[in-house]
Structure 1
Amino acid sequence: MQKTVLVPYARLPQAHHDRHVLTSTVDVFGAAHWLLAERAPQPGGDVLPFDALVVSVDPGGNVELTELSAVRARWPHLDRLPDGEFVVAASRARRYEDANQVQVFDALGRETSSFSVGDAIEHLLVDEAGHIWVGHFDENPAGIRRWSATGQLTWTSDDAHIPGLFDCYALNVSNTAAWACPYTDFPLVEIRPDRPERPVRVWANRVRGAKAVAVHGDLVAFYGGYREEQERLALGELAETSVTPTDVGLLTLSDGAAPGRRRVVGRGSRIYVQAEPFTTWGVFDLSS
């Protein structure tokens, strides 16, 4: 089976390797961010506010540090807003902390607002206009929703007629649009809320269990799957109502090894992959 090698993309500077990586992401403009704490969260322990450090590496390799004060999320999601603010969200929303699930921090690391987007966050990605896209896993039937940076719900999948949307397995946010591949039917879904004539398009798809998706023109790539297909890279073309498979192979690290336990982020034509110990990002670009 043909192997496609991830291209090295961004690296956490060595000076910060002594801290624990709580989470990491690549934003819509291509900058990589790491949310670091002094130590790993303790399972079952009290959720106490703690100070954290965001280390940002832009596509040119420039490094920026932002100290965040009083972070409350034990298992957080992270992204950056276009104006330089950061969004940190707890993946689970307990009743007693629901209103504070999402925290917005200014460029100086001070909390400016907080709100809730609902329990069971699988993906949280910010687009170029500052909308916050949230895809939920199956413990929350909300599916996929879009929020403003002040906590206003601006789009929901409730009436979008997306087949089998019980768990948002894959979510890709680029520009102001989103692409998804949800469980259980795994259709490829294009979401453009600002296109009133056809905000949602759906293509039937035979690739099951993908954890990330990339789209470039009429080309599409699905990464991941079940069991022995965890490193699968399946390519296809968009027909009128379905995805036509064209090739299938494996996506590997630069040394040819399987990524194993990893994070993935979909942004337009790109799938970013970060393997343990979560200090480096590699990229697959469908456009190349």
Structure 2
Amino acid sequence: MQKTALVTYAHLPREHHHRHVLTSTIDVFGAAHWLLADRAPQPGGDVQPFDAMVVSVHPGGNVELTELSAVRARWPHLDRLPDGGFVVAASRARRDEDGDQVQIFDALGRETLTFSVGDAIEHLLVDESGHIWVGHFDENPIGIRRWSATGRPVWMSDGAGIPGLFDCYALNVSGTTAWACPYTDFPLVEIRPDRTDRPVRVWVNLVRGSRAVAVHGERVAFYGGYGEERDRLAQGELTDTSVEPTAVGLLTLPDGPALGRRLVVGRGSRIYVQAEPFTRWGVFDLSD
């Protein structure tokens, strides 16, 4: 089976390796961000607010540091807003913390707003207009939603005609468009909420269990799967109604070994992958 190696994209600067990586992401403009704390979160009990640091590595290598005060998410999601601020969200929403699940920080690291988007966040990605896309997993099967940065829902998948939307396995946000591949039917879904004529398109897809998707023109790539297919890279072409398979291989780290635990982010034609110890992002670009 053909192997494709990730290309090294961004490194967490070595002087920050002593801190614990809470999470990491790639924003819609291509910058890499790490949310760091002095220690790992402790399981169980209440989360005491703590200070954290975001280390941002921009395309070209420029490094930026932002101190965030009073972060409250034990298992957080992170992304950057176009105005330079950050959104930090707890993946699980506790009933006694309703309205406090999502924290918005300004460019100086000061909390400016909190709100809730619903329990069981699988993916959280900000688009270039500053809207926040959230995909949920099956413990709260409410699908995919797009929120304003002030906590107002602006698009919901309810009634959008997406078949089998029970768990948002894969979500890709590029520009103001989202692509998804949800459980249980795993269709490829394009969402353009600003279009009035056809905001949602759906293609039948036979690739099951993918954790990330990339799209470039009429070409598509799916990464991940069940069991021994966790490192699978399946590629296909779009017809009017379906994804027609063209190739199946494996996606590996830049230096070759199979991937272990990992974070994945889909952005347009790119799939970014980060394996333990979560200090280096690699990229597969479908457009290359």
TM-score normalised over the length of structure 1: 1.00
Structure 2: give runs of 5+ residues left out of the alignment: none
| Counterpart position of 2:25 | 25
Q: Secondary structure at the match of 1:118?
A: coil
Q: CA deviation at 1:274?
A: 0.2
| Counterpart position of 2:163 | 163
Matches within 5 A, 1:140-159: 140-159=140-159
Give the letter aligned to residue 177 of structure 1. T
Q: Secondary structure at the match of 1:165?
A: coil
Provide the C-alpha distance between the structure 1 equivalents of 2:190 and 2:98, rounded to a whole number of angstroms.
30
| Counterpart position of 2:86 | 86
Provide the C-alpha distance between the structure 1 equivalents of 2:270 and 2:196, rounded to a whole number of angstroms.
27
1:71-101 residue CA offsets vs partner (Å, 9 max, x unmatched):
0000000000001010000000001112110
Provide the C-alpha distance between the structure 1 equivalents of 2:101 and 2:17, rounded to a whole number of angstroms.
28
Please tell me whether residue 205 in structure 1 is matched to residue 205 in structure 2: yes
Provide the C-alpha distance between the structure 1 equivalents of 2:88 and 2:283, rounded to a whole number of angstroms.
23
Q: Secondary structure at the match of 1:228?
A: helix
Provide the C-alpha distance between the structure 2 equivalents of 1:220 and 1:258, rounded to a whole number of angstroms.
22
Give the letter aligned to residue 169 of structure 2. Y
Give the letter aligned to residue 277 of structure 2. P
Give the letter aligned to residue 137 of structure 1. F
1:178-234 residue CA offsets vs partner (Å, 9 max, x unmatched):
000000000000000001100000000000000000000000000000000000000
How large is the Cα RMSD of the aligned pairs? 0.4
Please tell me whether residue 176 in structure 1 is matched to residue 176 in structure 2: yes
Please tell me whether residue 49 in structure 1 is matched to residue 42 in structure 2: no
Give the letter aligned to residue 7 of structure 2. V
Q: Secondary structure at the match of 2:34?
A: strand
Provide the C-alpha distance between the structure 1 equivalents of 2:140 and 2:46, rounded to a whole number of angstroms.
23
Provide the C-alpha distance between the structure 2 equivalents of 1:286 and 1:222, rounded to a whole number of angstroms.
10
| Counterpart position of 1:12 | 12
Q: Secondary structure at the match of 2:228?
A: helix
Provide the C-alpha distance between the structure 2 equivalents of 1:6 and 1:267, rounded to a whole number of angstroms.
15
| Counterpart position of 1:39 | 39
Q: Percent identity?
A: 83
Provide the C-alpha distance between the structure 2 equivalents of 1:59 and 1:178, rounded to a whole number of angstroms.
22
Mean CA deviation greater in 36-45 or 165-174: 36-45
Provide the C-alpha distance between the structure 2 equivalents of 1:142 and 1:166, rounded to a whole number of angstroms.
7
| Counterpart position of 1:257 | 257
Give the letter aligned to residue 108 of structure 2. L
Give the letter aligned to residue 140 of structure 1. N
